[in-house]
């Protein structure tokens, strides 16, 4: 009996030892798996000292850094290695070795590669955080097996692919899902609505598309929903109104359309509603007044209409209201004064009318007030002086009248003050000196008059000062630029007199300076110093004297220099070649002498050179041909001599070239025919040029104005000039040209004055007819005799052949008309189809077929009159097709269609979209354009990632392109064209970010011989005030 008991005791002890040994072996296996993974990492020195069997009891890893074992020390349950600087992959991590792992945190390392399928073996995992790494590829399907998961974080990686529905059918315990900042695509699965325990859903900054699933309304526990910065479209589902626990709602930067659901007013616990940068329309529902806990409301950059609901005054907890860039109209509700907690009130760029309510003075906590760019009238209320906490006040671009209230100048906390572009009269008072914290002050484009008070010297923090376009006179402020920070000063188009203040000479932080259009005097050599940070300076249209100092070469950041229309003398310093970033130089209409420095060819950013109306002598430097970005060159009205350098033909980006009124000699270089971009003007008039007009000028197919008058050119006008299809104005007067005019409308229809002084020219409407040569007359006589004796039989045979041919042609025409339908008579009238620049094989059906009957899959943009499609033609060329809505007898749409054809068939300019053809048809009417792959400027600006890549150089290039297009339409086209709808949506971009103006549906062609008037049209928020 006793021996049996001893045997039993021995067996139990043996079993316990065996079990302990098995557990120890399991832990040792997990430790070995960890060490194997550590050894695969490229930078794991932080783990080397801790992860060692020397620091383990029985080989267990429970004491290792970032490792936690179960309470009975039998297995690893937690791995937490966030922000350890680990580099490598998870390819050597044996997930199967950790059957009890519940918490896995690798946040904030440099791990990369894909997530292995083996992660699906972690059946007991409840917490997973792989955020802020460099993981890529799609989420493995096996992750659906991790059914116990409660929190999943993988933000800020490069994960792509789609989310599969089985994730959401299996992850029923999930409370937090954060996939922010990846490259996930596809639709958000409808099954996501099954995550009823989810409290936070963050899918922002991905590439999701399609609608927001209505099933999202089933997630009753949700407190935070962020779907921002994706490509979601469609309506905001009204089912969101069921999310009774929701506190934060963020849907910004998508393509959502339709009205805001009234059901959102049921979200009584909501504190943040951020839906900016979408395409929502309609009125802001009055139900928004039910959101009593709302603190932050941002509906910026949508298309909301109507007035701001007065119910907004009920939201006593509101801290910030942002409704900018919409089409809101009507007055600002007086109930806004009830929002005593309000800190930010930003409603700029709308259509608000009426006066600023006096109740705004009750917002004593207000820090930021922006009502800029509206249609507000009346005076600025004196109650605004109660806003003692106000730091930012923007009331510019309105219709405000009356003097600026004295109470405003008492707001000593102000940092930014913008009252520009109103109708504010009166003096700038001495009390402006109270604003000692002011950094930004803009009073430009008003009716202010008088002198500036000396108290402006108290504005020691001032960094940006704008006083342009007023009636101010007297001296400029004597003491400015005292803060040492980058300083911007603009006082153009006033009546300031006297010299440049000495404080500007010593202002080494000067960033931008514009003093044009005054009566300033003094010596510029003494008035200015060295400005290493200066970007642009414009002191044009003054009475300044002195010379161009070599010290300007110290302005290494200078991009624009305009000293035109002054009394400056001396030579252009050779050190100008050190201004490596210079893009514009205008020193026209001065008294500058000497030669153009050859170093100018080193300024590779130069786009605009104007040295006209001076006394510059010598030759034109051939180095100018090295300027690959040059668009405008004007050296006219100087004393230049010698030949025109052939190297000018290398400046292929030139749009305008004017060398007139000099003493240039020699032949016109044939290389000028290489200036393929030359479109506005080629003016070589009033020189001493000899020889013939080179044939190569016929390659200038975009040129509109040609002036070679008052030279000594001889010979015939080359017939190749007939190829200058864009030419609208020509002047070849006072030369010695002879022979017929080219077969070109600009030549044939030109006035007599365009050819006066050339005795040998003939042809056209206004010159004598050209006589045929003598040998041609003799040949005609012999042909007449031969015609008389022609047998009658031949005539009969001819008639027989003609009759047969006519019958064949009739059948051929019938087949061709049925195929091409170029002009088709229908029961609804005549329909037109026209294409050019193609081989004649393209027809209406080809385009409709290529667009799959205008399927929505090809839509790349929509507008009020129709949609734009990306279409690949049978020829392989990609074009943009603008299809107009067909809504019965839609006069407005039909007007836009015909008006766009009328405008674009008359223009040829590199910065204006090219029209290839059009079709007017009872079923579909469309226009065919050049396709620009970068799309519109609006699309780029609406994407944070693309907008960041739009640096200043690209922005300047875009603005320059738009300005060139407008200048061409307004001033250089034979019939002035007013676009009337310049907005970011109508500015398209080439791959090199050259701008192209589009959408001429509202354009107006002006009659230069009579007055013109027009309705107010255009895109809200972009129309001129």
What confidence tens digit (pLDDT) does each residue in 45-70 have?
778 778 886 655 555 788 899 999 99
Residue 981 appears among annotated catalytic residues: yes
Q: Which residue has the tokens 């999310």?
A: 243
Consecutive H or E run containing 20: helix 2-40
Lowest mean pLDDT among 464-473, 610-619, 945-954: 945-954
Q: Which helix (H) or strand (E) holds 457?
A: none
Q: Token match 């292929």: residue? A: 652
State mean pLDDT over 162-173: 95
DSSP 8-state code for residue 162: -
How far apart are the C-alpha atoms of 111 and 90, rounded to whole Å? 8
Q: Give the pLDDT confidence score for residue 22 in this predicted structure.
A: 54
Domain extents in the chain:
594-775, 823-1005
Tokens of 228: 């921002």
pLDDT at 681: 94
| CATH number, domain 823-1005, options 1.10.510.10, 1.20.210.10, 3.30.420.10, 3.40.50.970 | 1.10.510.10
How far apart CA 659 and CA 640 sit, in angstroms, is: 9
Residue 549: its pLDDT value, please? 87
Angle at 215 between CA 214 and CA 218, to 5 degrees: 125
How far is the C-alpha of 423 from the C-alpha of 474, rounded, in Å?
21
Is 70 exceeded by the pLDDT of residue 769? yes
Same topology for domains 594-775 and 823-1005, yes or no? Answer: no
The answer to whether the CB of 160 falls within 8 A of the CB of 136 is yes
How does pLDDT run across 974-989, given as a tens digit for each residue? 677 887 778 888 888 8
pLDDT at 55: 53
Average pLDDT of 371-393?
Answer: 96
Count of alpha carbons within 13 angstroms of residue 99, beta-carbon side: 4
Question: Strands of 688-691's sheet, edge to edge?
Answer: 617-618, 639-643, 663-667, 688-691, 712-716, 736-740, 760-762
Could you tell me which residues come within 8 angstroms of residue 36 by beta carbon, excluding any fewer than 6 positions away? 92, 94
* 895: helix, strand or coil: helix
Task: Work out whether strand 392-394 and strand 368-370 pair parallel, antiparallel, or are unpaired.
Answer: parallel
Reported confidence tier of residue 395, pLDDT bands at 50, 70, 90: very high
Annotated binding residues, as ranges?
883
Using the predicted structure, report yes or no on whether residue 157 has a pLDDT greater than 80. yes
Tell me the average pLDDT of the chain: 86
- 296, 372, 981, 999: the catalytic one is 981
Q: What CATH code would you report for 594-775?
A: 3.80.10.10
Nearest-angstrom CA–CA distance, 763 and 740: 6
Alpha-carbon distance of 848 to 830, in angstroms, equals: 19
pLDDT score, position 850: 80
Q: Tens digits of per-residue pLDDT, 137-151? A: 999 999 999 999 999
pLDDT of 805 over the 60 cut: no
Burial of 714 (C-beta count, 10 Å sphere; 0-12/13-18/19+) = middle
Q: Which residues contact 155 (CB under 8 A, 6 or more apart)?
A: 131, 132, 178, 179, 180, 181, 182, 202
Binding-site positions for ATP:
883
| pLDDT average, residue stretch 264-290 | 96
- CA–CA gap between residue 683 and residue 636 (Å, rounded): 9
More confident residue, 423 or 1000: 423
Q: Is the pLDDT of residue 807 over 50?
A: no
pLDDT tier, 783 (very low <50, low <70, confident <90, very high otherwise): very low
15 pLDDT more than 70: no
């Amino acid at each position: 009996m006793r021996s049996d008991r001893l045997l039993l005791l021995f067996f139990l002890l043996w079993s316990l030892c065996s079990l302990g040994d098995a557990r120890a072996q399991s832990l040792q296996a997990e430790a070995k798996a960890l060490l194997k993974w550590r050894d695969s990492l490229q930078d794991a020195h932080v783990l080397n000292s801790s992860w060692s069997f020397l620091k383990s009891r029985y080989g267990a890893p429970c004491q290792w850094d970032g490792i936690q074992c179960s309470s009975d020390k039998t297995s690893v349950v937690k791995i937490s290695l966030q922000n350890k600087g680990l580099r490598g992959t998870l390819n050597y991590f044996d997930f199967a070795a950790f059957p009890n792992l519940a918490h896995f945190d690798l946040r904030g390392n440099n791990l990369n590669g894909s997530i292995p399928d083996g992660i699906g073996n972690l059946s007991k995992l409840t917490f997973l955080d792989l955020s802020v790494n460099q993981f890529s590829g799609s989420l493995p399907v096996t992750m659906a097996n991790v059914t116990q998961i409660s929190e999943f974080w993988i933000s800020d990686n490069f994960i792509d692919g789609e989310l599969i529905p089985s994730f959401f059918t299996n992850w029923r315990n999930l409370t937090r899902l954060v996939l922010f900042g990846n490259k996930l695509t596809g639709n958000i699965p409808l099954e996501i609505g099954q995550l009823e325990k989810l409290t936070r859903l963050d899918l922002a900054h991905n590439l999701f598309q399609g609608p927001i699933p209505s099933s999202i309304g089933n997630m009753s526990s949700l407190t935070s929903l962020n779907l921002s910065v994706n490509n979601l479209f469609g309506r905001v589902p009204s089912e969101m109104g069921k999310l009774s626990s929701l506190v934060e709602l963020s849907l910004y930067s998508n393509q959502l359309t339709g009205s805001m659901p009234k059901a959102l007013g049921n979200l009584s616990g909501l504190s943040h509603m951020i839906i900016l940068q979408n395409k929502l329309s309609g009125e802001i529902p009055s139900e928004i007044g039910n959101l009593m806990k709302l603190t932050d409301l941002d509906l910026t950059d949508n298309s909301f209409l109507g007035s701001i609901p007065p119910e907004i005054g009920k939201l006593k907890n509101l801290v910030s209201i942002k409704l900018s860039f919409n089409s809101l109209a009507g007055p600002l509700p007086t109930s806004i004064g009830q929002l005593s907690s309000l800190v930010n009130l930003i409603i700029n760029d709308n259509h608000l009318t009426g006066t600023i309510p006096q109740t705004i003075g009750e917002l004593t906590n207000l820090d930021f007030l922006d009502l800029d760019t509206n249609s507000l009238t009346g005076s600025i209320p004196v109650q605004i002086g109660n806003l003692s906490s106000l730091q930012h006040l923007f009331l510019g671009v309105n219709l405000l009248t009356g003097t600026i209230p004295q109470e405003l100048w008492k707001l000593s906390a102000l940092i930014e003050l913008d009252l520009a572009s109103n109708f504010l009269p009166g003096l700038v008072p001495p009390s402006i000196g109270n604003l000692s914290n002011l950094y930004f002050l803009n009073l430009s484009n008003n009716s202010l008059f008088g002198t500036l008070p000396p108290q402006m010297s108290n504005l020691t923090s001032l960094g940006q000062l704008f006083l342009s376009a007023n009636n101010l006179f007297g001296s400029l402020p004597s003491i400015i630029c005292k803060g040492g920070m980058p300083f911007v000063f603009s006082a153009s188009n006033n009546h300031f007199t006297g010299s440049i203040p000495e404080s500007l000479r010593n202002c080494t932080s000067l960033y931008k300076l514009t003093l044009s259009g005054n009566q300033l005097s003094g010596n510029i050599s003494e008035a200015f110093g060295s400005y290493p940070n200066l970007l642009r300076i414009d002191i044009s249209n003054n009475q300044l004297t002195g010379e161009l100092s070599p010290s300007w070469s110290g302005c290494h950041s200078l991009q624009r220099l305009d000293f035109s229309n002054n009394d400056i003398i001396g030579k252009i310093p050779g050190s100008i070649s050190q201004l490596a970033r210079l893009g514009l130089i205008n020193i026209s209409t001065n008294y500058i002498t000497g030669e153009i420095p050859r170093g100018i060819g080193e300024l590779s950013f130069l786009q605009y050179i104007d040295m006209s109306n001076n006394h510059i002598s010598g030759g034109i430097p051939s180095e100018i041909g090295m300027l690959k970005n040059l668009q405008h060159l004007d050296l006219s009205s100087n004393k230049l001599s010698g030949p025109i350098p052939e190297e000018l033909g290398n400046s292929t980006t030139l749009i305008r070239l004017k060398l007139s009124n000099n003493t240039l000699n020699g032949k016109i270089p044939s290389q000028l025919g290489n200036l393929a971009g030359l479109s506005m003007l080629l003016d070589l008039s009033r020189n001493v040029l000899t020889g013939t007009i080179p044939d190569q000028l016929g390659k200038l197919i975009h040129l509109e104005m040609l002036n070679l008058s008052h030279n000594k050119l001889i010979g015939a006008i080359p017939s190749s000039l007939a190829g200058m299809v864009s030419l609208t104005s020509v002047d070849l007067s006072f030369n010695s040209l002879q022979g017929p005019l080219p077969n070109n409308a600009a030549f044939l229809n030109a006035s007599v004055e365009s050819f006066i002084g050339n005795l040998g020219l003939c042809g056209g409407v206004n010159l004598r007819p050209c006589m045929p040569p003598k040998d041609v007359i003799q040949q005609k006589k012999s042909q007449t005799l031969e015609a008389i004796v022609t047998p009658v039989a031949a005539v009969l045979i001819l008639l027989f052949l003609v009759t047969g041919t006519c019958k064949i042609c009739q059948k051929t025409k019938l087949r061709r008309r049925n195929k091409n339908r170029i002009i088709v008579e229908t029961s609804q009238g005549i329909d037109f189809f026209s294409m050019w620049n193609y081989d004649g094989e393209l027809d209406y059906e080809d385009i409709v077929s290529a667009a799959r009957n205008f399927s929505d899959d090809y839509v790349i943009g929509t507008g009020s009159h129709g949609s734009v499609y990306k279409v690949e033609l049978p020829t392989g060329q990609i074009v943009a097709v603008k299809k107009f809505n067909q809504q019965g007898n839609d006069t407005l749409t039909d007007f836009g269609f015909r008006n766009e054809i009328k405008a674009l068939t008359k223009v040829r300019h590199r910065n204006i979209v090219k029209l290839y053809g059009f079709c007017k048809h009872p079923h579909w009417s469309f226009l065919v354009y050049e396709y620009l792959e970068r799309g519109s400027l609006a699309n780029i600006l609406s994407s944070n990632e693309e907008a960041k890549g739009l640096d200043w150089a690209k922005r300047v290039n875009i603005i320059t392109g738009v300005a060139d297009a407008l200048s061409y339409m307004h001033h250089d086209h034979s019939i002035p064209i007013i676009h009337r709808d310049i907005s970011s949506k109508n500015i398209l971009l080439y791959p090199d970010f050259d701008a192209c103006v589009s959408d001429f549906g509202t354009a107006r062609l002006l009659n230069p011989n009579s007055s013109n008037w027009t309705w107010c049209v255009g895109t809200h928020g972009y129309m001129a005030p």
